[in-house]
Amino acid sequence: MRELVPELDGLPVGVLHVDLTGHIQALNACLADWLGMDATQARGQAVDQVLSPAGRVMYHTHLVPTVRQRGRLQELTLEIQGRQGSLHVLASAALRGEAQAPWVQLVLSPMRERLRVEAALLRVQRAADSAPQALFEYALEADGRGHLPYASAGLLSLYGVTPLLVHSRDMPWLDHIHPDDRQGVLNARDASAQALDQWRAEFRARAEPEGPWRVHALRAQPQREPERVVWYGMVEDVTQQREVEKAAAAREAAERATRAKTEFLARVSHELRTPLNAIIGFAHLLSEQGSTLDAEQHRRLGIIESSGYQLLSLIDEVLDISRIETGRLQLSALPLLLRPLLEQVVALLEPLSRVRSIDIALDCAESLVVEGDAGRLRQVLINLLSNAVKYNRMAGRIDISVRSDDGANVIVDVRDTGVGMSAEQLDQLFQPFNRVGAEQTRVEGAGLGLVIARGLAEAMGGALDVSSTLGQGTCFNLRLHRAEGAPASVVASQVPTTEAASPSSRDRPWQVLYVEDNTVNALLMEAALAAMPSIALRSATQERPDLLLLDMQLPDTDGIGLLDRLRHEAGLQQVPAVAVSADAMPDAVDRALAQGFTAYWTKPLQLTSLPHRLEALLGGGAA
């Protein structure tokens, strides 16, 4: 038996000597430990005893013939029977000895770590090939030649490029890139190679010659090696992501535009309401107190006041459209008796219909209840009926009928016998400021009423449609939700009245502090309060006021900041405060009330209701 030299016995790999008859001549201590046997006892035994069935086949059919023919063999996987089960080893073999007595020396290395690494690499490879992106290694040689040592299967799904083309061409996906984008990809590569910055490119590409263009993004990190630059990176389809980003950008732009429009409308409303406050207010005071005016002067004052209210109505309509478009319209959905509401609107328009000799017929059940906001529904009905009156013929007719469609909704039909509209006019009917030709008539209007009416109907969960025949008349169909339960009152709101202390019950008039930077508006308030002997307007330097009236936009602060300062003054902590402003936007009202104001009065002020509102506040109520 052959003896191992001491150096081989101490190696951390297995060493095995086998003669050509297949008997073990020697083995080192490391291999004996793997096999779980004594090295001395193993000598002379058949090598098959330490090999698995698969290992025996590989040993006898491949290893021995190869070694006998070539003298050596490297890196052959064998499976041996170890004491802990099968063990895969990597075998290298060489033929040793003299021609009369040759033998085979095998060096065996365990493959546990190698197999683990290979399995991990296989998992990585499978993950890379399954990913929708294409992972790649790209090398640019010093002579300008580029090639792909590696690319994952994603290259096939993105560009239809086969593995053969991956290794045979510089950038096999280049032909699939949009012609206008190719040079940009190459320029980005060259700039990355020069500065060793990340190679970043976004371009249009497609897999099929006639397929749709998709947006692809390339990201790769360069590394400089001797005589070349190598990138490791990824290409992915980002079409959907870019569409989402584009949609988000469009939404943000739309939101910015909406905010800008809202701010613009708020500013315009404020700037228009401020002078309107003086125009309407002084016209009203002159009309009420101008006993020396003759009839013609009273008529002219009435025209001024009426024109002011007409302009105010237009401002309110523009703000309503803004609130509807931005979804910031405040509604209170309540069950409402429909017939009393319709009767109120008919009565309101009776003077106008009487002038034009127009008959109005109403057909609505007494007990029919619908769901809606009383004020806004009244606004819709007023608009529909006033249009039916204005655009009707003299001595015409208006029929208001209510019907059910499917049990859940009711339809209010407002039908007139007027001039009617063409199909082209109907297509343009609900466009803001488009009066579909009525601007050429003497009928007044701004082209906003129907736009607002439809928006209000939809905000209440209903709809507004129209049908018309030119020369025969028009019919508007207002759909509303049928409601259950006890109906709310739809009687028009009255000016609130509150029992207040009379002048005789006090030893002094009520003291009101009004802070206003607009001189004309201050004069108007002074004139309005002068007609109320129980109330006196005082400056901030005089005695403690009983009521604070604060303008919301002042040169050096705002009404909220001023109220906060006044609340820290002795004796003013519990004094009621009213915000007086030309800003009628809901956010401004909500903000003021949340910051401690008792009420919010919008300019132009309703001077007819001013005494009642002041008495309600000074008497401990709210107005």
Question: Is the separation of the CB atoms in 28 and 11 below 8 Å?
Answer: yes
Distance CA 468, CA 102 (A): 113
The CA-atom distances, in angstroms, between 418 and each of 414, 427, 582 are 12, 18, 39
Distance CA 328, CA 587 (A): 9
What pLDDT band is residue 525 in, cutting at 50, 70 and 90?
confident
pLDDT at 485: 64
pLDDT at 620: 59
pLDDT at 120 over 80: no
Percent of the chain with pLDDT over 70: 84
Q: When comparing pLDDT for 172 and 232, which is higher?
A: 232
Write the CB contacts of 510 (distance below 8 Å, at least 6 apart in sequence). 534, 535, 536, 546, 547, 614, 618
Question: Quick one: which H or E segment has residue 335?
Answer: strand 334-337
Tokens of 156: 């096939």
Longest dimension (CA), the chain: 151
pLDDT at 266: 73
pLDDT at 488 over 80: no
Percent of the chain with pLDDT over 90: 26
Mean per-residue pLDDT for 183-195? Answer: 94
Least confident of 113-127, 347-361, 379-393: 113-127
The CA-atom distances, in angstroms, between 225 and each of 141, 195, 233, 325 are 10, 14, 16, 61
Mean pLDDT of the chain: 82
Question: Is the separation of the CB atoms in 451 and 320 below 8 Å?
Answer: no
- Residues β-bridged to residue 138: 231
Task: Give yes or no for a cis peptide into 604 (omega within 30° of 0).
Answer: yes
Site of tokens 């109320």? 532
Q: When comparing pLDDT for 267 and 339, which is higher?
A: 339
Distance CA 314, CA 303 (A): 16
Site of tokens 């009379």? 502
Length of the chain: 623
- Residues β-bridged to residue 96: 103
What pLDDT band is residue 578 in, cutting at 50, 70 and 90?
very high
Mean per-residue pLDDT for 179-186? Answer: 93
How do residues 316-327 score in pLDDT, each as one tens digit? 777 777 777 666
pLDDT at 281 over 80: yes
Strands (E), 115-205: 134-141, 146-151, 199-205
Closest CA to 391 of 347, 435, 345: 435
Mean per-residue pLDDT for 389-397? Answer: 89
Write the CB contacts of 4 (distance below 8 Å, at least 6 apart in sequence). 15, 17, 26, 27, 28
Looking at 446-558, list the stretches that DSSP marks H as alpha helix, in order from N- to C-terminal side: 449-459, 519-530
pLDDT at 495 over 60: no
Three-state SS sequence of 338-392: HHHHHHHHHHHCHHHHHHCCCEEEEECCCCCEEEECHHHHHHHHHHHHHHHHHCC
Closest CA to 326 of 249, 244, 254, 432: 254
pLDDT at 5: 63
Question: Quick one: which H or E segment has residue 537?
Answer: strand 535-538
What pLDDT band is residue 168 in, cutting at 50, 70 and 90?
low
pLDDT at 51: 93
Q: Is 412 exposed, middle or buried (0-12, 13-18, 19+ CB in 10 A)?
A: buried
pLDDT at 596 over 80: yes
CB count within 10 Å of CB 586 equals: 12
Distance of CA 561 to the CA centre of its chain: 33
Q: When comparing pLDDT for 603 and 114, which is higher?
A: 603
**Candidate ranges 196-210, 493-507, 531-545; pick with highest mean pLDDT:** 196-210
Q: Is 151 exposed, middle or buried (0-12, 13-18, 19+ CB in 10 A)?
A: buried
Question: Quick one: which H or E segment has residue 240?
Answer: helix 239-289
pLDDT at 326: 67
How do residues 36-73 score in pLDDT, each as one tens digit? 888 888 889 999 999 999 899 999 999 999 999 999 99
| DSSP state, residue 195 | H
pLDDT at 462 over 60: yes
Q: When comparing pLDDT for 591 and 535, which is higher?
A: 591
Mean per-residue pLDDT for 15-43? Answer: 90
Gap between the terminal Cα atoms of the chain: 119
pLDDT at 491: 44
Write the CB contacts of 364 (distance below 8 Å, at least 6 apart in sequence). 338, 339, 342, 400, 401, 402, 412
Mean per-residue pLDDT for 291-315? Answer: 78
Three-state SS sequence of 85-132: EEEEEEEEEEEECCCCCCEEEEEEEECHHHHHHHHHHHHHHHHHHHCC
Distance CA 165, CA 148 (A): 9
- The single-letter code of the amino acid at 428 is Q
Write the CB contacts of 352 (distance below 8 Å, at least 6 apart in sequence). 386, 389, 390
- The single-letter code of the amino acid at 102 is P
Q: When comparing pLDDT for 536 and 398, which is higher?
A: 398
pLDDT at 484: 73
Distance CA 385, CA 399 (A): 10
pLDDT at 202: 94
- C-alpha dihedral (413, 415, 419, 423), degrees to nearest 10: 30
Question: Is the separation of the CB atoms in 579 and 572 below 8 Å?
Answer: no
Mean per-residue pLDDT for 463-471? Answer: 89
What pLDDT band is residue 506 in, cutting at 50, 70 and 90?
low
pLDDT at 498 over 50: no
What pLDDT band is residue 126 in, cutting at 50, 70 and 90?
low
Mean per-residue pLDDT for 184-194? Answer: 94
pLDDT at 354 over 90: no
Q: When comparing pLDDT for 250 and 570, which is higher?
A: 250
Closest CA to 59 of 106, 14, 98: 106
Q: Is 200 helix (H, G, I), strand (E, B) or coil?
A: strand
